[in-house]
């Protein structure tokens, strides 16, 4: 088997998703976003065809594949101009954590809905005062009889208004000092004491960002997913897939921008020749093609390591993939806009709005600087700098 080629099944999956997404396209996505509307019909269509649940175990109605299959779905959607941020969160992080660490009851309750797209769950880790330091999380769950009471605040949480619940990363009351021992709670979005407020963003997306407030939100005992002090490994069971999906999100947007640019420079003529015949345009686009393909290859490596159960190696590769993909996407969008000249800023061409979308990939879900810190320390063995 060629380790550098995807399986016939995944190639077929990519084509099927690309064909479905082509019926929607960038115009559909942009129009919904500008109107303040959701892409619910696209999500439902994806769920109906089983594409959202490709990584959910078969016994719960999913495809039984791995994170590499789900990442391929995410990438093809973005390549069609329809990047669905909720895919990174709901089926990748939340479904993975519940499938690996949930009780039988939790799996039966949630996974079939993840598989067909009828249930969505947001993911909540970032806090206003913690930044990139997850060990400083202060959102706390404390026992009250058989129940839990959750108190704290989160920020930049995606898609809460579209989800029926949120998977919240907290710490228990008796673990507020020392290294983080995460406790993961499923919180219904209509729970008393739980409020959220939208964050105004200069980002063209139907999926919004929110600040969350938990004021003694009462949760039943079965709201806890996994062990109370399961350790950081349980958290990264969801965060490594998040980085892999974020990489595919970026490479998909990069492929979209590159395709638009190459189509344009082939047909746009100035001074009697297609502008793509000039190396000043051809070479940067060729560079971007190389950069995108390298990022895709690292993303496939990260997914293969994760699906093989090698969490440590997958963590390194997932960080590298996320970094490479975000850099490639930012660069190619800038080059595509330059190749279009003034048209690159026109809404008709669907490129200018990608400046913020791809730039976000350098920041979230982990900043490029923290990825470099990780690689310097863990890959190169350099002293910790933070």
* Residue-wise pLDDT tens digits, 11-31: 999 999 999 999 999 999 999
Same domain, 268 and 350: yes
| Distance, CA of 338 to CA of 121 (rounded, Å) | 38
The encoded tokens of residue 186 equal: 């499923």
E-state strands within 296-375: none
Considering 70, 104, 119, which residue would you say is the last residue of a domain? 119
Could you tell me the pLDDT band of residue 177, with boundaries at 50, 70 and 90? low
| CA angle at 303 for the pair 374 and 1, rounded to the nearest 5° | 130
Residue 166 exposed, middle or buried by CB count within 10 Å (0-12, 13-18, 19+) = buried
Report yes or no on 3 lying in a domain: no
Q: What percent of the chain has pLDDT over 70?
A: 96
Contact 83, 77 (CB under 8 A): yes
Residue 292 pLDDT > 90, yes or no? yes
Report yes or no on 259 lying in a domain: yes
Q: Which of 47-61, 142-156, 227-241, 314-328 has the lowest mean pLDDT?
A: 227-241
Q: What is the mean pLDDT of residues 111-120?
A: 97
Same domain, 314 and 198: no
Closest CA to 53 of 78, 25, 43: 43
Dump pLDDT digits (tens) for 94-108: 999 999 999 999 999
Q: Would you state the pLDDT for residue 175? A: 53
Against a cut of 0.85, is the pTM above it?
Answer: yes
Report yes or no on 113 lying in a domain: yes
Dump pLDDT digits (tens) for 332-354: 999 999 999 999 999 999 999 99
Considering 98, 119, 140, which residue would you say is the last residue of a domain? 119
Considering 60, 87, 119, which residue would you say is the last residue of a domain? 119
Report yes or no on 2 lying in a domain: no
CATH number of the domain encompassing residue 84 = 1.10.540.10
Contact 81, 354 (CB under 8 A): no
Host domain of residue 346: 232-379
Dump pLDDT digits (tens) for 224-250: 998 886 657 788 788 999 999 999 999
Q: Which ranges constitute the DSSP H helices of 35-134? A: 40-48, 67-79, 85-87, 95-101, 104-116
Q: From residue 92, how far is each of 17, 20, 175, 236 by CA, in Å?
A: 17, 20, 27, 12
Residue 266 pLDDT > 60, yes or no? yes
Q: What is the mean pLDDT of residues 64-87?
A: 97
CATH number of the domain encompassing residue 317 = 1.20.140.10
């Amino acid at each position: 088997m060629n380790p550098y080629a995807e399986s016939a099944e995944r190639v077929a999956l990519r084509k099927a998703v690309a064909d479905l997404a082509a019926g929607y396209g960038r115009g559909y996505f942009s129009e919904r976003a500008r109107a303040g509307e959701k892409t619910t019909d696209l999500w439902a269509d994806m769920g109906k065809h089983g594409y959202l649940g490709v990584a959910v175990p078969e016994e719960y109605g999913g495809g039984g594949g791995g994170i590499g299959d789900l990442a391929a779905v995410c990438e093809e959607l973005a390549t069609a101009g329809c990047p669905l941020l909720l895919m990174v969160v709901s089926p990748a992080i939340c479904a993975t954590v519940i499938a690996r660490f949930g009780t039988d009851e939790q799996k039966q309750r949630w996974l079939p809905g993840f598989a067909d797209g009828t249930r969505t769950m947001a993911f909540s880790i970032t806090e206003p005062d913690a930044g990139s330091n997850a060990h400083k999380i202060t959102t706390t769950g404390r026992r009250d009889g058989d129940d839990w009471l959750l108190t704290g605040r989160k920020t930049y949480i995606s898609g809460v208004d579209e989800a029926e619940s949120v998977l919240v990363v907290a710490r228990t009351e008796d673990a507020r000092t020392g290294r983080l021992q995460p406790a993961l709670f499923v919180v219904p979005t209509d729970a008393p004491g739980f409020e959220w407020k939208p964050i105004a963003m200069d980002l063209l997306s139907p999926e919004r960002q929110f600040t969350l407030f938990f004021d003694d939100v009462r949760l039943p005992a079965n709201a806890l997913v996994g062990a109370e002090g399961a350790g950081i490994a349980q958290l990264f069971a969801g965060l490594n897939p998040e980085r892999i999906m974020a990489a595919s999100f970026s490479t998909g947007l990069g492929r979209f921008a590159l395709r638009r640019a190459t189509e344009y420079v082939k047909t746009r003529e100035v001074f009697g020749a297609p502008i793509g015949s000039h190396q000043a345009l051809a070479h940067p686009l060729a560079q971007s093609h190389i950069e995108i393909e390298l990022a895709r290859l690292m993303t496939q490596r990260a997914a293969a390591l994760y699906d093989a159960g090698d969490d440590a190696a997958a963590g390194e590769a997932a960080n590298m993939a996320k970094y490479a993909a975000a850099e490639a996407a930012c660069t190619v969008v800038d080059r595509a806009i330059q190749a279009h000249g003034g048209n690159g800023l026109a809404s008709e061409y669907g490129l200018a709005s990608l400046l913020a979308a791809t730039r976000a990939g350098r920041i979230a879900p982990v900043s490029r600087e923290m990825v470099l810190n990780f690689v310097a320390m863990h890959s190169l063995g350099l002293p910790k700098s933070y």
